[in-house]
Structure 1
Amino acid sequence: MRPRSIKPMRSGDPRQKYMILTVSILTLCLTSPGHAQQQCTNGFDLDRSSGQCLDVDECRTIPDACRGDMMCVNQNGGYLCIPRTNPVYRGPYSNPYSGAYPPPPAPVPAPNYPTITRTVICRFGYQMDEGNQCVDVDECATDSHQCNPTQICINTEGGYTCSCTDGYWLLEGQCLDIDECRYGYCQQLCANVPGSYSCTCNPGFTLNEDGRSCQDVNECMTENPCVQSCINTFGSFICRCDPGYELEDDGVRCSDMDECSFSEFLCQHECVNQPGTYYCSCPPGYILLDDNRSCQDINECEHQNHTCTLQQTCYNLQGGFKCIDPLRCEEPYLQISDNRCMCPAENPGCRDQPFTILYRDMDVVSGRSVPADIFQMQATTRYPGAYYIFQIKSGNEGREFYMRQTGPISATLVMTRPIKGPRDIQLDLEMITVNTVINFRGSSVIRLRIYVSQHPF
């Protein structure tokens, strides 16, 4: 028959009474004919050098043999888990065998049958009944417990528990009031009282039937304090205004919003405020686009909505138009096309004059960002040995422009200063041709008429 294993007491339960496990284990030695070998029982290991059974220190070999507030005490052949504050335990388990094991030689067994000796001792909290069985002792019924008058004795298997009534907990043998507010018994506001607590809710909430949780109050349905729109929130509400209105300082009433005052970029030209809304308007010569903020030029020349005569040419501008009279070349120039005048080389009066004058028209918006390339000029023919010089011959008294040569035969007119309109500017852009091979120098002019619009769009 194998001896019973030793089971440590459960730990971590503050209501468990001190319990001490006492186990008596005897060593069994078996002998076979012609060969003797000693075997050790549970709790002992064979020392091969001495041939003796030595006690195993379970408190060191078993990880976490005792848990919680219990401490491990090694015994001969086993171990105990006892409370660290156990007033009963005074020292190690009394055993006649203090170190080496086994005890003195076992009696000679009968042939073929080993002799086994077992001592049965009941654990603390149990007692032997008439059938030699260990049964639980009801300490609460026998009044053998140590609970104080403020506690309730509850019998358990092998012991008893000292408990407290609802609203109290056991601490160092005393029933102390539980502060339910500290442990979050209430969802919002909590007031602790001895053995109990009371829950209340913040404004905007009502207490549920469970007496602990709070439910939001929908103010928009019960009272609707807002003038226009009410939005319920968790514990409160928010008033909202219709588009075109803004909430006043009282958070309830709404007043018209002057959208035009918020930004000058709301409309491209002019913003007109109205109660609850606004609209954009455009100056004469423009129409409002589908985005309801941008203005687009009306091409009066294309739609025949102009006042030019049949002899004049209608030239569309941003926000208007120009009626351009037919070209008339001044002496000694001759007209060779609708926009070109030429000075014949054989005419002595053309000696110091540009060979040709080409008339061109263009428009720019008022206040255009600078610098800006607005016009390009280049030679139509390149002769061997010739090079070209580009310059502004006249019309640039305000120094709003300059010529930047971009290649051997080309240059670009650059606007260097923003120009406010409406304004008409005429520039003579000169291209000078120099040929050192044939000792030639001549020039041509583009007479550029620039119409600056009144508006920046």
Structure 2
Amino acid sequence: SLLAPEGYVAGDLEPTFQHCCQLGSVVAAQDRKCDEATSGTPVQGIPAEQQSVCLSTMQLCCVLSVRDIQCKEGKQAAERGLGCQSTKFEDSKYCCEACKLGMISGSMAMGCEFQEFSLGEMWDETYQTCCTSISSSTPPVTAPISPNTSFTTPASNKPQKTPQSNENICDLLKGELCAHICVPTGTSSYRCDCEPGFSLMADGKTCQQVKFQNRCESNNPCQQRCTDTGIAIECSCLTGFQLAADNKSCSDLDECALGLHDCGQDQTCQNEVGTFTCQDIPRPTQPPQRQTTQPDYDREPEDEHVNNNTISSRYQEDQCPFGYIFNSRTQLCQDVDECEADLHVCSTGEVCVNMPGGYRCSRAQPTTTSQPVRCQPGFQYSDVYHRCIDIDECSEQESPCDSNQVCENTMGSYLCQCKSGFQLDSITQACIDINECQVDLHNCLPSQRCDNTIGSFQCVRYTSCGTGYTLNAQTGLCEDNDECALHMCDHLGPGYKCRNTLGFFRCDKINTPGPSSTTETSTPCDSCSLSTPSITFRCPRGYYANAQRRCIDINECEKSGACKPNQVCINIPGGYICSNKMNCEPGFRLNEETNRCMDIDECVEQPGLCDHNCHNSWGSYRCTCRSGYTLYQDNRTCADINECEMFKDRRLCIGYCVNQPGSYSCQCPQGYRLGIDGASCQDIDECTSQNVCTGRNEVCLNMRGAYRCVSTACPPDYIKDSQHANRCKRITMSCREDDKECLQKPLTYTFHFITLVSNLTRSSGPLDLFMMRGPMWSSTNVQFDLRLDKVHTPPSVQAASLQSFRLEEADHNVANIRLLQPLIGPQDIYLQLFMKFFYNGIYGGTTISNIAIFVSQYEF
């Protein structure tokens, strides 16, 4: 028994909660089931009025303790690098996943605290604990790291979160720490290396390709083409050749033998070294005569699909081969259909089969009175070849696949394959766009942003390098422009020298004199001066002297009219430059200071430009839509996708599909509830509710989407059979021999009820509905008779008839009622099955089975 703590005071609930909670935790630690431990055993010392409170507290604390124990097992599985599916309990699995998320975030130094997002109380703590244990052991990178630099992880003060001694952090977070190679340097430390031909970048993780000498130029082992990938030398061959087994030399590819040629049916393929030629088959110069044209009874054409009976080479009107005629519109030689033009010499009993440039006579199939040949789905009968041939749905049907798919014909059918850049959605079975940027399938440089597009992606540079710099596409770095190499100071004359600086340049005057003094007071300055009665300070042209006797550059561009209206004024030391204004393309704007075209960020300058999402690109912008929407023809507006209409052939919902902005929802008719999958409809069993059918002798019968209150009341002169609830028997079973009316009255009535969904079909044939078995004695025979009593159905639904059913004798005195055709609901059908008994040929009585069939309104 359970004991209360000493010093317990009745009426004080806090000690009750504390003690009972401890008892529940003990039950969990003993690996006992919480329900068994709190199944009603009273806790000694607890007042009777608080027993229920104590047991509930024990139950709650026991469950919480069990969850905590299971969560710890999940964390330990994650820290040991085990799969989360290996855990036995659901809480263990979720905590394992949360811990792995935390370890990944910690290794990426992305922070372990959420501002608003929450995984849940238990999983937030697990995530932060695992994240902190990893992030605290990964030092931040503040300077370029050499390829030999190691990440040293200090030992954690929590032993249970440290990897096992036989594991390392590279295996624990495989593919998450380094771009190429992760090299463990201890139990909890690592460093990143790169493949040959690549070098480690400043972040200590990313690898970039290094410049290397093309080894194909110095030592080319290949016979034809050589490619140095930076890692290895790869040999390849020219068109028409194939790489030999030594992976160096090339051998001729026989296109004719491998069927890689495109010669027509009236041509033969002739292989040549590195290529092939198509040679026309010689044609007779005279029409075929009867004595020289033998009907071909046995050989069938090699290609069943005879089409494109034209010769693509250009001919003059009098140059077409025999069997062809010149088409003045297409300027091509077109095949003459001798069969249609009645130019053949086939006899009676033969069929003329047109061929490119000629024809052949084939023996006609004998006519019979048998039924036409029926082919399997995907095939059609050919009157020419007298057999079933495949239907090419891709060429004969207009758009059998949607716009994101390509059609691939197969024998007897066809396949819709997703185009490049799309993948199949397992739920809607539609081809949806692959976000290459999100799943890291792009090849954008570190200095570029990956923008997803429909079926592809594009790489956009993050920001401009700025004036005086140019992006190096290989390194991804902005490099300084050497303007001096463009002789930017030559217009100032030989007295100036160009000096390149980061992002700009300077034109320095060679031996530029400082302010000079002279006693001549009558000589004027070139531009301006500061003078006294005896001394004059003069500056070079383009400068002026300030009060401190220093030469200051004059900004000529501040004066109006320095350059022409279509020019831009650029000030330089001691002068200025007039440069013609740039004509910027749409999407760019002229920067007056630098005379360069700068990209316009339309998304920032024109709010609301796109209906949903606006993505700026170089010289333009792109609009995208949220999930469930598609971009309209104006490339700006987003139109809702009506999933219910677009995917109606895929039956998104079992019940009703209701389109919603950006999505859809499923609803069920009355009598059903929506399943947990959000798509199926589950029947509501109304009969489980109390007092549904309150009439005397009424029984509640549940059916799909509805219910019926059916009566088993006995007719007059009949009473309930105590042995069978659904049977009524005659009050008096005996009759006088001359009382024919009494003898004809049924001995018993039985009641049977069957529920069906609407339009129920079976591919294997009729559906067995009901079986009745009579006495098995050999001296007894039973005559069965099926009758239709009545049918209740709305006017819009076709009512069932007796022809919808068939009565079959399955065995001696055994009858079976079978459904021959689907029944459309809703409708109630009442059948009566009569059984007449004969004992040694003498009539012994009749029983009637009342069979009620209730067909629901829906097919589910």
TM-score (normalised: structure 2): 0.25
TM-score (normalised: structure 1): 0.45
Structure number with higher relative contact order (C-alpha < 8 Å, ≥ 6 residues apart): 1
Q: Larger radius of gyration, structure 1 or 2?
A: 1
Which structure has greater helix proportion? 2
